[in-house]
Amino acid sequence: MKKYNIKAVFFSPTGNTEKIVTKIAEEIAASFDDEIETINFTLPEARRTRWVFDVNTIVVFGLPVYAGRIPNKTLPAVKENFAGNGAFAIPVVTFGNRSYDDALSELRDLLEANDFRTIAGAAVVGRHPFSDVLASGRPDADDIDRLKGFSQDICYKLGKYNMHRQIEVKGVSPAKEYYCPKGVNGEATNFLKAKPKTNKVKCTKCKICARVCPMGSIDSTDVSLVSGVCIKCHACVLSCPVNAKYFDDPAFLSHVAMLDSEYVRRVESDFFV
């Protein structure tokens, strides 16, 4: 069997995308009796690096879904920092139980434009960072089994076919506008300017929140200050060891309440090979 270099590439503020992409890459690598290399471009300094691949490489490339699309703040890095040079790619998006809309087709198109050959794709459910109930415990054992089967199908395809045709996935191309969030009243709500707050009584000044912010927006000298853009990824909230970070923006909380009410049903992941 031909040997490949296996890469797990991801933007993963809360770890869900990292877990899923790494699992797929590890399963593929096991079939080739190889190890994987991880490229994590979540933090700002990592997005200053450019990576160049080749035809002997398989890249499992993952991003979370934000409002039905890939995060717009990652677009420059995806467009400018990754050169495929004929490498195989598996675009993977992770979503929190509502929908991935056009995110997977958007990521596929970006990778194809960067001279990757997309041979499979996946939209995988993971715990929603906003909520304790949306996709809680996902990916679960059944999801992991399906990830293993998906990886095996990819290896079979690699061994059988030499020709390339970009993978067909759900979603339109080019992608439509971002999903418009709604509140509990069913009307559109806007919380673009919402930023996390800090409970100064609880805060121990460990500065973990500043270190994990993918936008580098939390002031490391005073973590209660968020001077830059907030993408509502919840990395700071979920990583705080004393639960001192929180959101209190009414529009944002109304949207979360709507999600918790309308999207609690189990949604299955989609796989395309």
Assess contact for 245 and 196: CB atoms under 8 A: yes
pLDDT of residue 158: 87
* Cα pseudo-dihedral 267, 233, 123, 251, rounded to 10: 50
Tens digits of residue pLDDT in 82-93? 999 999 999 999
% pLDDT > 90, the chain: 93
Q: Is the pLDDT of residue 1 over 90?
A: no
Rg (CA), the chain: 19
Tens digits of residue pLDDT in 192-227? 999 999 999 999 999 999 999 999 999 999 999 999
Burial track 146-181 (b if 16+ CB lie within 10 A, e otherwise): bbeebbeebbeebeeeeeeebbebebeeebeeebeb
Residues 6+ apart with CB under 8 A from 138: 97, 125, 126, 127
pLDDT tier, 161 (very low <50, low <70, confident <90, very high otherwise): low
pTM comes to 0.96
Residues forming beta bridges with residue 88, ordered by sequence position: 58, 117
Domains of the chain: 5-177 (3.40.50.360), 197-248 (3.30.70.20)
Q: Which helix (H) or strand (E) holds 123?
A: strand 121-125
Mean pLDDT, rounded, for 30-49: 94
Helix, strand, coil fractions of the chain, as percent rounded to 5: 30, 20, 50
User: Mean pLDDT of all residues in the chain?
Assistant: 95
Assess contact for 200 and 170: CB atoms under 8 A: no
Burial track 2-35 (b if 16+ CB lie within 10 A, e otherwise): eebbbbbbbbbbbbbbbbbbbbbbbbbbbbbeee
Tens digits of residue pLDDT in 93-103? 999 999 999 99
